Amino acid sequence: MMVGHKLLKDEATEEKGERARMASFVGAMAIADLVKTTLGPKGMDKILQSTGRGHSVTVTNDGATILKSIHIDNPAAKVLVGILCIVQLLKSSAMINKSQWTLKLLFASLVTVWTLDSGDPLGMFYN
């Protein structure tokens, strides 16, 4: 008799199927919405306030700085933040240009509009 190993914490919840896809979709769109207003020549700054003992305030329009400073519960959004931070590092080292960064967020926005119009979120990826 094999005893299964416990992978999830006691307080963890598990989502499957359509609910999991929708949670991933919502997390990805929230991340895209957070940083897209910082892009371009009219990109806006974000004010970041820490909640620790130091209570520091930072003003930035750097996507990686913004993404590193927020707490994320959504597993898919955590993966996306990791990828976007790597892209930001590559961009800052001149290995990737700003238009590629912008195109990634444009794609995320187009997927949002398309799925809202079709009434089938993420259906284009799973049909």
Q: How do residues 62-96 score in pLDDT, each as one tens digit?
A: 877 888 888 888 777 787 777 777 666 666 665 55
pLDDT of residue 127: 44
Give residue 51's pLDDT.
Answer: 79
How long is the chain? 127
The CATH number given to whatever domain includes residue 28 is 1.10.560.10
What is the number of structural domains in the chain?
1
Is position 63 within any domain?
yes
Assigned domain for 109 exists = yes
C-alpha–C-alpha distance, residues 4 and 25, integer Å = 31
pLDDT at 59: 92
Least confident interval from 1-5, 7-11, 53-57: 1-5
Domain that holds residue 31: 18-121
Please check whether residue 10 lies inside any domain of the structure: no
Distance in angstroms (rounded) separating the CA atoms of residues 65 and 96? 17
22 vs 120 pLDDT, higher one: 22
Mean pLDDT for the chain overall: 72
Percent of the chain with pLDDT over 70: 59
